[in-house]
């Protein structure tokens, strides 16, 4: 994913998700950019699934 603030490209897993101290952490799934700490929303599961379906369909056999 690309950080909405600084434009840095990183994988969701790379994002610093160490927000356990935050009282909202249970409901919040924001992903922090490793470079500038900006919080980016993750891609909703539903959209990921739809994209994957299209990708799989688009891959030449």
Residue 37 beta carbon to another protein: minimum distance, rounded to whole angstroms: 5
Q: Are 3 and 41 in contact (CB under 8 A)?
A: no
Residue 30 beta carbon to another protein: minimum distance, rounded to whole angstroms: 7
Report the half-sphere exposure of 25 (CA within 13 A, side-chain side): 9
Task: Give the separation between CA 31 and CA 9, rounded to whole angstroms.
Answer: 12
How many of the chain's residues bind another protein (CB under 8 A)? 37
Task: Give the separation between CA 12 and CA 34, rounded to whole angstroms.
Answer: 10
- Binding status of residue 36 toward another protein by CB under 8 A: yes
Give contact residues for another protein (rule: CB under 8 A): 2, 4-11, 13-14, 19, 21-24, 27-30, 36-44, 47, 51-52, 55-56, 59-61
């Amino acid at each position: 994913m690309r950080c909405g603030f600084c434009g840095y490209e990183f994988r969701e897993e790379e994002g610093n998700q160490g927000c356990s101290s935050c009282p909202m952490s249970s409901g919040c799934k924001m992903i922090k950019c490793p470079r500038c700490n900006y919080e980016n929303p993750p891609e909703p599961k539903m959209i990921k699934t739809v994209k994957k379906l299209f990708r799989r369909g688009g891959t030449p056999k």
